Amino acid sequence: MARARLTPLERALRDKLEDEWREEVIDAAHRFGWAVAYFRPARTVDGQWRTPVGADGKGWLDLTLVRDRVLFVELKRETGVLEDEQRDWIRRLDDAGAEWYVWRPSQMDEVIDVLRRRRGAAS
């Protein structure tokens, strides 16, 4: 099977790490006046990285943003895949009428649009 040739931009987006992508989204959110909650994974005694969540928290989305709306955002690398627990949370958030997104590095224009929009403004 022939591999599609990537442009330099496409290659850069594909290779962008989630840490770097997260910092870009948080910076953009701050510029537009959002408060952002992010819970950083911690290293366990056996050297694993785990986010210390309780109850049903496994799979909770990466960022919660609050301004005039509340946004729930899962960040993925360009080719990253949602985990089952993340799909469950997204389904529940959606059923509850929450505003949620899965954002990848190639979607920065959409991210800016969402962050800029004011509650009640046409999208």
Provide the binding-site residues for Mg ion, judged by CB under 5 A.
62, 75
> 62 or 115: whose CB is closer to Mg ion?
62
> 27 or 68: whose CB is closer to Mg ion?
27
- Nearest distance from C-beta of residue 74 to Mg ion, angstroms: 5
* Residue 72 backbone dihedrals phi, psi, to 5 degrees: -115, 125
- Nearest distance from C-beta of residue 80 to Mg ion, angstroms: 7
State how far the alpha carbon of 93 is from the alpha carbons of 16, 30, 63, 89, 121, in Å.
27, 23, 13, 6, 21
- Nearest distance from C-beta of residue 19 to Mg ion, angstroms: 10
> 6 or 17: whose CB is closer to Mg ion?
17
State how far the alpha carbon of 45 is from the alpha carbons of 9, 38, 41, 58, in Å.
39, 22, 13, 19
